[in-house]
Amino acid sequence: LIVIGAGHAGCEAALAAALRWVEVLLRPLMLTIKSIPVASFIILALMWLRSAGNLAVFISFLMVLPVVYTNTLAGIRETDARLLESAGCTVIAVPCNTSHFFLDRVQEQIGIPILHMIRETVAFIAAQGKRKVGILATDGTIRTGLYQREFAAFGIYAAAPRPAAQKQVMSLIYDDIKAGKAGDPEKFAAFTKDLVEQGCDCAVLACTELSVFANQHHLSPFYVDAMAVLAQRSIELCHKPLRAVF
């Protein structure tokens, strides 16, 4: 009976590890199952199921599902980093902004350093003496507060685009770049104008799709591409020379 639940939980954990939206979808379900007493499940099962045999399978499945799911998901995430460590990597770079929400937990599991793109970017901007920075990112990244917390540690205020401007950011990311189209400069200009009106003295490109836009267009020094900062620091930590790319 435990194998039944473990098999389902393992598949779900593998999907959650590969697909962020699957994890977001499953998290409330797993928390709900863990919080409900077994006695309550028995009452529900008696209402839904007809045989005692089915009841035993149902209860066993629900008991092992959240435990196996949680442990398997954590194991998959840790294994990826440990495999890189065992392969001889001396530093790990993660070019995804939102995944930095979990990065400190992964770092605790391995001995080699993980370059924290957000902290590296914040330190780079702080060294320039900036005081108010605009965050250009997805709704999800902004809601996590990842950049806001790191900037606050340096006494720098991080501003998000106002709602209408943020819709333009999301449209540029999803309707343009992710759809394989060239980014619309008018959308980019619209949310840049919003940040300037808020008094920002620079803006962070805090999304990989915006880094793609930066490669397509010549942007002013007002913008700091977090991906470019990560790439530069990765090269430096591997003791290789930097070169200009045109």
Task: List, by residue number, the catalytic residues.
Answer: 96, 207
Q: How far apart are CA 99 and CA 24, in angstroms?
A: 13
Q: Is the dihedral of CA 136, 140, 141, 142 positive or negative?
A: positive
Cβ atoms of 189 and 203 within 8 Å: the answer is: no
Question: Token pair of 170, please?
Answer: 């999301």
Phi, psi for residue 138 in degrees, rounded to 5: -70, 165
Phi, psi for residue 177 in degrees, rounded to 5: -65, -50
Q: Is the dihedral of CA 114, 202, 164, 181 positive or negative?
A: negative
| Alpha-carbon distance values, 196 to 9, 45, 107, 161, 165 (Å) | 48, 59, 36, 10, 12
Cβ atoms of 110 and 88 within 8 Å: the answer is: no
Q: Which residue has the tokens 């490669």?
A: 215
Beta bridge partners of 132: 157
